[in-house]
Structure formats: structure tokens, C-alpha cells
Amino acid sequence: MRLAEHLGFFLVLALAIVVMSAFFSEAEDGPALRSLPRRYGVFVGACALVAAVMLVLERLFLTLD
Amino acid sequence: MVETRAFERRGDPNVAVLLTWFLPGAGHLYLGRVRSALACFVALEGLYLLGWWLTGGRTFEYLDPELQGPFATLLTPEAGNLGALLMHLKVSGFGAGEPVPFPPQAVLGCMLSALSGILNLFAACHAHVAARESRPGSALHPVWPLVAGWAVPGLGHWLQGRRLRAVIVFTLLVGLFLLGSWLAGGTNLSRERHFYYWSGQFLLGLPAIVAELVAGDARVSAELPRLDVGLLYASMAGLLNVLALLDVFGVAEKRRLEASRVAPGVVSA
């Protein structure tokens, strides 16, 4: 699969995770929906950070050749 | 100001939950609710035994040999009815390891034993609330929106009057499940093929059950390049429904206990 496809699938699933966690955290619909952009940004940003760390570790320690 | 009666416990809610987890009805018996205890025991153990009988006790033979171990079954819906699961493992285990065809009703049998585990978790919730309310509250018991929300994602919110949230939850979770099933070519619907992913998506309730009954024996005639994504999506839809159920339960529990504690006619200045 191409990188763009991977990213697309990730962003769709991330949206579902963020919406459900917002509903879990906020009892009222208004605050839950308003908090979505911030939550989505934080979630995607944090996942990108984890992915970057994993790529760095892979490059440093898991080179097979 | 509305005066509330002293908070009276019928028993320890955590003990009631643990007892129910090990044996359906035991928690209610502990709380002195004999009829509920009998109903839970007969219905839930009966459901498990019927599933056991239909599968010939071979549900856990679906597990790959390298995954078969003492803790391998704890990530299944059957673990919600722990006593029955332990008995199942003791009597039938993981089979003899010989390649024998599964009985024709194995799919239905698996569903029934899994259903017994899920419903016993709801019975445990019922016992937990029953232990804490001083008298039956006038509000809807939290277990009913919980069962509804499991059966149809979003229905629990709908019954609570939270319509917008209900529509969003249903659209998001059922959409995710359908997209996942499409990407996986329907192979996610078979417990024999994907044992643990199936356990996750069973938490989505009727959409997953109906889809399996209708299209659970999908034939694979070509490569499925997005199989992993499909399995993940369908399983995540079920797991995210647990978050929705916790939200439903939190609100329903609060309403019920408040209604239970406020005694009618004891209004003071």
C-alpha cells in the first residue's frame, strides 16, 4: 500500500477514536463536539511523534545489513 | 430543599459483581434477590450450555495451536461468564488436535456462548446498581439502555433522549464496521478465521451478529491487500462501542441513583 493510503486509513480510524473518547469525556454534546478539533490534532500529533521515534529507533538499531 | 434518606447499602457492590462474574445469579442471591438470581442463572447458564452443546464444546479449537494456553481464552466474550468458561476449558479444553470437521451449528453455538458472557456482564452491572440503591428508583434501570446500546450502537443514547449523540455513534461505529468488513472481504465475520478480531467486533452487537449470519462464510478467491486494515476497523468498531456503553451507563446510573435516594414527600424548608 502506498503511504498516502496508510495515512488515509489512519486518519479515518483516528477520527472514530477521538469522537468516541470526546463523548466519553464530555456528558454534553456541545462541549464534546467543540473539543473535537483540538483532540484530533493532539491525537494525530502524538501518534506522529510515536511513529517518528519508532522510525528513528528502527534506523539506529534494526538495520539488518 | 429536598431531603434525602440515608444511603443504605444492601451489600457490597464489588462483591456482588465478582460473584456474578463467577456464577450468574450469585451476586443477586447475595443481595437477597432470589427471583432475579434464579432468572439470571437459568437464562445465562442455559445459553452457555446450549452453545456448548451446539459446538460440541469445540469453540476454542478455533485458536491456532501456538495460541492455545491457560490465558488465551480470557480475551473472548465467554470470559464474561467465568465459571462456565473455566468448566468449558476443564471438560473440553482445546480438543484432541485432530482435523475433524466442526458441527454444522458451530457458528450459532459460538454466538450463544459468547452472548452468555456479554449478558452476564450486564447482570453484574444490574447487581452493582441493586447493591447501592436504597429502594428501586423511578428512573429507567441503567442496564436497559446498556443492553440496547450493545445490541444497536447508539440506541442506549437514544433511549436517554440524547438523539444527536445516538445518531453520531451509530453512523460512526456501524460505518466503521461495514467499511472494515468490505476491506476484509467479509473474512472478519468468521470466528474460525480471525478468533480475536471476532471477539472485538462481537461487542458491536446485532450489526456484527446479523452480518455473520448473513455473510459469515465468505469465499476468498483473490488476494485481500487491505485485510489487516479491514480486521482492525471492524474490531475497533466493537471496542469503541464499549466507550459508548460506559458513557450510557454513567448517565443512566446517575439518574437512577438520584431517583432512588430522593424519598417522595419528605420535603423540608
- Whether the pLDDT of residue B100 is over 90: the answer is no
pTM score above 0.90: no
Same domain, yes or no: B159 and B259: yes
Same domain, yes or no: B76 and B184: no
* Structural domain of A57: 3-61
Residue B196 lies inside a defined structural domain of this protein: yes
Of A17, A19, A29, which has the smallest distance from its Cβ to B164's Cβ?
A: A29
- Whether the pLDDT of residue B257 is over 90: the answer is no
pLDDT at B135: 72
A13 interfacial to chain B (CB closer than 8 Å): yes
Higher pLDDT, B231 or B1: B231
pLDDT at B133: 80
* Structural domain of B39: 10-132
Residue B249 in contact with residue B125, Cβ under 8 Å?
A: yes
Euclidean distance between CA atoms B196 and B18, whole angstroms: 24
Residue B245 lies inside a defined structural domain of this protein: yes
Euclidean distance between CA atoms A29 and A52, whole angstroms: 34
Residue B241 in contact with residue A17, Cβ under 8 Å?
A: no
Q: Please report the sign of the dihedral spanned by the C-alpha atoms of residue B223, residue B229, residue B231, residue B237.
A: negative
CB-based contact B247 A24, cutoff 8 Å: yes
Q: Picking from A41-50, B59-68, B187-196, B205-214, which range would have the lowest pLDDT averaged per residue?
A: B59-68
Residue B25 lies inside a defined structural domain of this protein: yes
Residue B199 lies inside a defined structural domain of this protein: yes
Q: How many domains does chain A have?
A: 1
Nearest alpha carbon to residue B77 among B111, B41, B125:
B111
- Whether the pLDDT of residue B267 is over 60: the answer is no
pLDDT at A41: 97
Q: In Å, how far is A20's CA from the nearest CA of chain B?
A: 7
Residue B259 lies inside a defined structural domain of this protein: yes
Same domain, yes or no: B158 and B54: no
Same domain, yes or no: B73 and B148: no
Model-level ipTM above the cut of 0.85: yes
pLDDT at A65: 60
Q: What is the mean pLDDT of chain B?
A: 88
Which stretches of B153-243 are assigned E, i.e. beta strand?
none
Higher pLDDT, A37 or B216: A37
- Whether the pLDDT of residue B1 is over 60: the answer is no
- At B262, the pLDDT band (50, 70, 90 cuts) reads low
Same domain, yes or no: B68 and B168: no
Nearest alpha carbon to residue B184 among B240, B228, B237:
B228
Same domain, yes or no: B178 and B254: yes
- At B5, the pLDDT band (50, 70, 90 cuts) reads very low
Residue of chain B whose alpha carbon sits nearest to that of A21: B243
Other Cβ atoms within 10 Å of A63 Cβ, number: 7
Q: Which amino acid is at A2?
A: R
Taking one residue from A and the other from B, the number of pairs with CB-CB distance under 8 angstroms is 45
Per-residue pLDDT reduced to its tens digit, A5-28:
999 999 999 999 999 999 999 989
Q: Are strands B2-4 and B262-267 parallel, antiparallel or unpaired?
A: antiparallel
Residue of chain B whose alpha carbon sits nearest to that of A7: B229
Residue B2 lies inside a defined structural domain of this protein: no
pLDDT at A43: 97
- Examine the fold and report which residue of B100, B117, B132 is the final residue of a domain before the chain moves on: B132
Residue B5 lies inside a defined structural domain of this protein: no
- Examine the fold and report which residue of B80, B112, B132 is the final residue of a domain before the chain moves on: B132
- Examine the fold and report which residue of B78, B107, B132 is the final residue of a domain before the chain moves on: B132
pLDDT at B95: 78
Q: Residues B237-264: what's their mean pLDDT?
A: 85
Chain A partners within 8 Å of B236 (Cβ):
13, 16-17
pLDDT at B256: 83
Euclidean distance between CA atoms B83 and B19, whole angstroms: 10
Same domain, yes or no: B40 and B59: yes
Q: In Å, how far is B166's CA from the nearest CA of chain A?
A: 11
Q: How many domains does chain B have?
A: 2
